[in-house]
Amino acid sequence: AQSVTQPDIHITVSEGASLELRCNYSYGATPYLFWYVQSPGQGLQLLLKYFSGDTLVQGIKGFEAEFKRSQSSFNLRKPSVHWSDAAEYFCAVGAGGSYIPTFGRGTSLIVHP
């Protein structure tokens, strides 16, 4: 079975600074990888996904993520954070043959002005 770890429970950055949120997965074959964002009081929204091909994927709201098979990682990045990016971010991994993704425990992003 697949699993996913988000090592950071909270991340604090200043507005305008760069951001990297970590995600590590465990799965024997090529995984299907997702990042979702949850704004306060809202449901989750897909930021980006990786299924195959180019290992650097672009998403909405200026986010990107890079799949690194050698490190079993799919870290989320943004070059310049805006105050509106303050939210909870979830990494998810799925396996071939299953419709069900496994979610990480989430990373809470705090943005200081």
Q: Which is nearer to other proteins, 17 or 110 (CB)?
A: 110
C-alpha–C-alpha distance, residues 11 and 96, integer Å = 31
* Residue whose structure tokens are 């303050």: 86
C-alpha–C-alpha distance, residues 75 and 70, integer Å = 13
Q: Of these, 67, 90, 109, 111, which contacts other proteins (CB under 8 A)?
A: 90
Residues in the chain: 113
Q: Of these, 45, 55, 58, 84, which contacts other proteins (CB under 8 A)?
A: 45
Task: Name the amino acid, one letter, at 77.
Answer: R
Q: Which pair of tokens denotes residue 99?
A: 């419709």
Q: Which pair of tokens denotes residue 95?
A: 């396996």
Minimum distance from residue 16 beta carbon to other proteins (Å): 29
Binding mask 58-87 for other proteins (x = CB under 8 A): ------------------------------
Q: Of these, 27, 32, 63, 74, which contacts other proteins (CB under 8 A)?
A: 32
- Contact positions vs other proteins (CB under 8 A): 9, 32, 34, 36, 41-46, 49, 51, 90, 92, 94-101, 103-106
